[in-house]
Amino acid sequence: MQITSSNLYPPELPLQPDLPPAQDTLDQKFAAFHSARPEVFEAIYARAYRLAFIQHKKRLSMKRIFEDLRDLMECLGDEYGLNNSFTSRYTDLLIEEHPEFATLFHRRARAKGKMKRVYVKAL
């Protein structure tokens, strides 16, 4: 038997693994959804208006509005495909276009820009 380097050492691993496919950011996904389904925003505005100015609610919740729309659409046999991650974006859009809702929603601050990735050296 002839001894070669391939018999003595295991094969080398690739230096860099294949990168996962690029994914859209949440803002890009929201922009695509909003442009494809503008009727969702109209329904959100109508529900918020009814809660605030007809039922005189002092606080509004976009998550509740989403659940109300889901229940309504389920009864009608339509599905918006609402993503709960879009609640903050729809809240911002509603307040931007209709400032009278600004005091009715509680909004938390979000991180500005991209999140920093931190890599830790494995022991």
What is the 3-state secondary structure of 27-61? HHHHHHHHHHCHHHHHHHHHHHHHHHHHCCCCCEC
Contacts of 47 (CB under 8 A, 6+ apart): 65, 68, 69
Residue 116 lies in a domain: no
Q: What is the Cα 56 distance to its own chain's centre?
A: 29
Number of domains into which the chain is organized: 1
Q: Does residue 65 lie within any of the structural domains? A: yes
Residue 15 belongs to a domain:
no
Q: Which domain holds residue 75?
A: 37-101
Q: Would you give per-residue pLDDT tens digits along the chain (123 residues)?
A: 566 655 677 777 766 666 666 667 888 889 999 999 899 999 999 999 999 999 999 999 999 999 999 888 777 666 667 889 999 999 999 999 999 999 999 887 776 665 555 555 555
25 within a domain of the structure (yes/no): no
Give the DSSP H/E element, type plus range, for residue 63: helix 62-76
Is 7 domain-assigned? no
Contacts with 94 (C-beta within 8 Å, 6 or more apart), sequence order: 41, 44, 45, 48, 62, 101, 105
Cβ neighbours of 32 (radius 10 Å): 11
Q: Is residue 23 part of a domain?
A: no
> Is 41 a member of any domain?
yes
Name 105's bridge partners: 60
**29 occurs within a structural domain:** no
